[in-house]
A = this chain, B = another copy of it.
Amino acid sequence: MSTISQKPVVFDPINFITHPDRYVHWQMEIDGPVAWLRMNVQEDRPLRPGYQLKLNSYDLGVDIELDDAVTRLRFEHPEVSVVCIESALDKVFCAGANIFMLGQSTHPHKVNFCKFTNETRNNIEEATAKSHQKYVASLNGATAGGGYELALACDEIHLVDDRASSVSLPEVPLLGVLPGTGGLTRLIDKRHVRRDRADLFCTVAEGAKAKKALEWGLVDFVHTTSQYKEAMRARLTGLAGAGNSAHGVELDDISPVREEATIRYQHVVLELFEADREAVITIQGPEAADAVIPEESAHLGASWYALRMWRELRHILLELRFNYPTIGLVTFRTEGDVEAVIALDEALAAQADHWFVREVLLQQGRTLKMIDVTARTFFSTIIPGSCFAGSLLEIALAGDRVYMLDDSGEENVIALSSLNNGAFPMAHGLSRMENRFYGHDDALAAVRARTGGRLDASAAQELGLVTEVLDDIDWDDEVRMAREERRSLSPDALTGMEANLRFVGPETMESRIFARLSAWQNWIFTRPNATGERGALTSYGKPDSPEFDWSRI
């Protein structure tokens, strides 16, 4: 476990940029409306030394490729309507997250690894729900732990009935941890497996073979070995339909430039102040020309601001999570033209039915959701020259506090666009406006009535859109003090507090996985019964059995 020390935990920097040409562990094959993502994990190519990725077990490196593939299919292959996730191995689908990798990882890495894999599974479900790309899991053999959780994220699950292959969630009996990549929640919330059967299933390491798996609803279809290939082909063809002729948009590498304490992207700059445990993210707003969307919007390509900036912001969030663990406070700034943001947002809203605009908006929404569940404090500072409007204001609203300068000399405004009214639902289903004004319907209506107009500091304050308005005499001192105070607080208490205060009211399966399930898993990961010297996760594969403190808590 982590020791008390001022020294930050040191990670190898992780690279999140990849491309199908460089995939190590996955093969992507496309035949008209059907795509195959074939898992073929190279056991001698782990992300970090110290473990082997046997039996299609995975680490973060494997999942970075999977997430890239899922995202690329949405942008680059709109003609695809069915995606089959399968295995290149014989009689093995996937053994789940690599246990030795988990055993040797720090607590922060384990937690962030789980968060990333959960986001990948959500990306898969969103593709099925919103992008007309239906995911099908083809389980040709043993499917354990995170392997079965990957299948659970698919819209339907096929399992070979060869009297040997099974699906299983052996985390509790073998490792003393939870199926934490949504497994427990998807079993009951999504697949409606009866809770006592789920209890049995999750405590029996060997899992369930075809007959029981079908009867209990753990899978949707089973096929005998001899019929398997043909049955899968027929099913995929049937689901795919006629296909369509849309042409995709290739996602270019975003290739940031790393300077000493700065990572510079095309539209975003990340400045790191590691001694202060702070970072500043400065986002350049769009140009007026970005709002001109041709009828065939895909011609705008991946360099279009509306896509490129958000991919850059997503990359920054991943950098912060994995490569800069001690940065506790992040301040968002924007620079640009409020009108240009609103114009672009309204153009996007007007053409949201086009597949490419839809995907751009979904990418923006996924990035915003990442802010909601990133365990760092986010402040935004609004000063003259900034452009916190519409989708960029949504970034501020995703964070914890918004400070706005009431400058006596210069104009300083924010504005709402149509996109603030539900285009970017949070994980629990509410828009960030509904979340902010929960229980205050009048205030919400008053805010919505101002969509499109420029709001100065006093209007923003009166409407409840900013946390504090400060005049130019107080601004520097007050914002500095707020930052210093925040930085001094316990990072764990802040993580727990933010995870609770950011989501008000209802929950969905997605938010239950991030909240209920992941919070319990984080607790278990810190417990000696899992990760102590004789804990179950640490002891896995070693000659000695784990030893437990039997207190029930």
In the assembled complex, how far is the CB of residue A21 from the closest CB belonging to chain B, in whole angstroms? Answer: 34
Q: Please state if B501 and A198 are interface contacts (CB–CB under 8 Å).
A: yes
In the assembled complex, how far is the CB of residue A72 from the closest CB belonging to chain B, in whole angstroms? Answer: 30
In Å, the complex CA distance between A546 and B288 comes to 51
Asked if A505 lies at the interface with its beta carbon under 8 angstroms from chain B, I say yes
Taking a contact as CB atoms closer than 8 A, the residue among B189, B328, B532 that contacts A550 in the complex is B328
Q: Please state if B4 and A192 are interface contacts (CB–CB under 8 Å).
A: no
Contacts of A535 in B (CB 8 A): 4
Q: Please state if B496 and A521 are interface contacts (CB–CB under 8 Å).
A: yes
Q: Please state if A326 and B551 are interface contacts (CB–CB under 8 Å).
A: yes
Contacts A551-B108, A553-B108; A520 near B499 (Cβ below 8 A): yes
Asked if A197 lies at the interface with its beta carbon under 8 angstroms from chain B, I say yes
Taking a contact as CB atoms closer than 8 A, the residue among B197, B202, B534, B553 that contacts A495 in the complex is B553
**CB-nearest residue of chain B relative to A173?**
B489
Contacts of A495 in B (CB 8 A): 520, 552-553
Contacts of A203 in B (CB 8 A): 485-486, 489, 497
Q: Please state if B492 and A327 are interface contacts (CB–CB under 8 Å).
A: no
Q: Please state if B516 and A2 are interface contacts (CB–CB under 8 Å).
A: no
In Å, the complex CA distance between A497 and B199 comes to 8
Q: Restricting to A446-490, which residues have a CB under 8 Å from any CB of B?
A: 464, 467-468, 485-486, 489-490
Q: Please state if A184 and B497 are interface contacts (CB–CB under 8 Å).
A: yes
A-B contact pairs, 29 of them (CB 8 A): A4-B528, A4-B529, A4-B548, A108-B553, A172-B497, A173-B489, A175-B493, A177-B490, A194-B440, A195-B436, A195-B501, A195-B504, A196-B402, A199-B467, A200-B467, A325-B551, A325-B553, A326-B550, A326-B551, A328-B552, A490-B529, A490-B530, A499-B516, A499-B520, A500-B516, A507-B512, A519-B522, A522-B523, A526-B526
Asked if A232 lies at the interface with its beta carbon under 8 angstroms from chain B, I say no
In Å, the complex CA distance between A385 and B2 comes to 54
In Å, the complex CA distance between A189 and B435 comes to 10
Contacts A2-B551, A550-B277, A552-B376; A496 near B467 (Cβ below 8 A): no
In the assembled complex, how far is the CB of residue A239 from the closest CB belonging to chain B, in whole angstroms? Answer: 22
In Å, the complex CA distance between A435 and B468 comes to 43
In the assembled complex, how far is the CB of residue A188 from the closest CB belonging to chain B, in whole angstroms? Answer: 4
Contacts of A111 in B (CB 8 A): 553
Asked if A30 lies at the interface with its beta carbon under 8 angstroms from chain B, I say no
Q: Please state if A200 and B401 are interface contacts (CB–CB under 8 Å).
A: yes
Q: Please state if B532 and A4 are interface contacts (CB–CB under 8 Å).
A: yes
Contacts of A516 in B (CB 8 A): 499-500, 503, 507, 515-516, 519
Contacts A195-B501, A200-B401; A549 near B2 (Cβ below 8 A): yes
Contacts A107-B553, A172-B494; A500 near B178 (Cβ below 8 A): yes
Asked if A280 lies at the interface with its beta carbon under 8 angstroms from chain B, I say no
In Å, the complex CA distance between A376 and B192 comes to 23
Asked if A437 lies at the interface with its beta carbon under 8 angstroms from chain B, I say yes
Q: Please state if B522 and A492 are interface contacts (CB–CB under 8 Å).
A: no
Asked if A47 lies at the interface with its beta carbon under 8 angstroms from chain B, I say no
Taking a contact as CB atoms closer than 8 A, the residue among B3, B521, B548 that contacts A549 in the complex is B3
Asked if A171 lies at the interface with its beta carbon under 8 angstroms from chain B, I say yes
Taking a contact as CB atoms closer than 8 A, the residue among B491, B505, B534 that contacts A552 in the complex is B491
